[in-house]
Amino acid sequence: MNKGRSTVPAPIPFAKVRGIICAASPNDLNRLAEIDFSTKYLSIVTKFRLQMTSPGYKPDLVLTNGDYFIVKTVEDYARYGPGWVQSIAASIDYQDQPPSPGASRAAC
């Protein structure tokens, strides 16, 4: 805190983080008089230490296919190997990018 104002640390981008990303539910359509939108969710399994909110830190943002997702949950997946975590992340964009042509539609 600085004179009663919170300070947010500068984001630190990480490139080439590896993991498995799959669609997660619910991907429900929300309809309001002004706008229609859906909040997309992703399931992410990785050895990278994703974090939710903690004192002095904001939750991690994941950028994939031009869309930003905010980490909502992080669960220990050590039963599958040391260091593995599974996370659920929610889209923070009102309109996400459409899938790219020729993108794999394989189920996870």
Domain definitions of the chain by residue range? 19-91
pTM to 2 decimal places: 0.71
**Tens of pLDDT, residues 53-75:** 888 888 999 888 888 899 999 99
Beta strand segments in the chain, E: 19-24, 29-31, 36-38, 41-46, 61-64, 67-76, 85-91
Asked if pLDDT for residue 107 goes beyond 60, the answer is: no
Query: CB–CB of 62/69 below 8 Å?
Result: yes
